[in-house]
Structure 1
């Protein structure tokens, strides 16, 4: 089924997609990076020296923010891969185009500079950064929420840089070590996503959330819900109508791995149960 589906993929031209990166988009990305750095600096200044800020609070906010960023990266990645089209006004060229380009030329990201790699993530993080700075820091709870939001968007900002390193043939030595111990996105883990038709392992900050989300069938369930509500076919613009329809039908019929495992366990338990023996009346 996978080979047949791969033969039906109808992806867009990599050169045309790359040319969609316009001077206007670059200017927007530069402004977003400057704004993001300014807001994160303001947040650090507000948290620094606050009576409610402590080392354990900061460490827990950083770790939970890392997990949250991994999930957010998967959600945004899934949306960019699955819905919309490159010819949509504003969103098409600025947000959807990079996802489509990455599937037809996955090494393109290694040729992007810092602005093109990280500008989009800074842009989408700005509203959360404003919220984190604006929150009152009058209690440990508020400080934690603010620190968590600031940590999450910091890791969201770093996500495309981690993603870029996972596609480099020879990343810096320290980065290679962090990949091997799975502190950032490892190339072999991310390679699962780059297997046609590109419908799994969307989380690209570190990838820790990929397996749990796959086990419960999170993204296929979201796709069925959106298709039921709107009639839109997932991945139609990315891989072509024929392949998208066949893939949607196949995933709709499949059960989440956790459900399959539960059924197998139930069947095995039932099979091992001793059958009741009919009582024999004495003669």
Structure 2
């Protein structure tokens, strides 16, 4: 706990007004184009899937549900990348994709003031290559239909992720949204609040959050960070929370082990440690 507090005290966030000012007319135009393109591609995919002889209600339902789970992982992975790597000074990506992540940690309520375009444009933009792949599939067998349906559903939920995220930060979301949050069918505010505790290094999945616990259990993201750092030499979260806090967090994570690894070691130790033999009982011979 003491180490955690020391890291929090070292966190140095960027200026909220400067970050908010980085949302330029060019970025907004790009997001509008991405939303229009995304909707067009999704509608075209639905048109191609409609009455396809290789489809069926159960196949499509399975694709939609699996796509929802996959979107939760994708949201976590993209969120982790946006929070952890890069800088707002990078050309194009810095202003368009990384800046919103930095702003959100400084002013988490800013997302509740964003309109539909600013809220959802980024997710539509990163989903376009997958949408193109989905509509390009031949749909000549049930396997192809499932793959196309799965990808289409996944990117639909990815697109909806920032809307779910926005609702999780609202003080009074619509009644139906509040119900879905309470039964954990979309991202609940209390669950997401764990991520918004400095230094913002856990619970990245923000579609529904179901995968946060298992990914945290196996230290998925800290291990991925070690790999990236070993290959590139980059320090995770350096641009977001400052160099001092970022390096202190790296040291703390290296010293920690995933709970599942700790449990495995304990089981291995128990399995390989010989049991103590019970004390020998002395026997006496009857005298002749």
TM-score, length-normalised on structure 1? 0.96
Q: Which residue of 1 aligns with 2:181?
A: 179
Instruction: Report how far residue 262 of structure 1 moved.
Output: 2.6
Task: Indicate whether 1:277 and 2:268 are aligned.
Answer: no
1:109 aligned partner: 111
SS at match of 2:88: coil
1:276 CA drift (Å)? 1.4
Distance 1:113 1:264 in 2: 51
Shift of 1:259: 1.1
What residue number does 1:141 align with?
143
> 124, 128, 151: which one pairs with 1:122?
124
Give deviations 1:4-46, integer Å, cap 9, x for gaps. Answer: 2111111100000000000000000000000000000000000
Superposed CA offset, 1:147-204 (max 9, x none): 0000000000000000000000000000000000000000000000000000000000
Counterpart for residue 169 of structure 2: 167
Once the two structures are superposed, the pairs formed by residues 1-283 of structure 1 within 5 Å of their partners are: 1-266=3-268, 274-277=275-278
Q: Tell me by how many angstroms 1:214 deviates.
A: 0.6
Question: Could you tell which deviates more after superposition, 157-166 or 255-264?
Answer: 255-264
Partners in 2 of 1:141 and 1:270 — Cα distance? Answer: 47
Structure 2, unpaired ranges of 5+: none
The secondary structure found in structure 2 opposite 1:201 is: coil
Work out the CA distance in 2 between the residues paired with 1:110 and 1:264.
46
Q: Secondary structure at the match of 1:107?
A: helix
Residue 55 of structure 1, CA deviation: 0.6
Give, in whole Å, the separation in 2 of the partners of 1:131 and 1:223: 29
Please give the alpha-carbon distance, in whole angstroms, between the structure 1 residues aligned to 2:266 and 2:241.
34
**What is the deviation of 1:270?**
7.3
In 2: Cα distance, 1:269 partner to 1:168 partner: 51
Report deviation, 1:263: 3.0
Normalised to the residue count of structure 2, the TM-score between the two structures is: 0.95
Separation in 2, partners of 1:225, 1:267: 28
- The number of aligned residues is 282
Give the drift of 1:277: 3.2
**Structure 1 stretches of 4+ moved >6 Å:** 268-271
Query: What is the CA distance between 1:264 and its match in structure 2?
Result: 3.8
Whose radius of gyration is greater, 1 or 2?
2
In 2, the alpha carbon distance for the partners of 1:260 and 1:170 equals 41
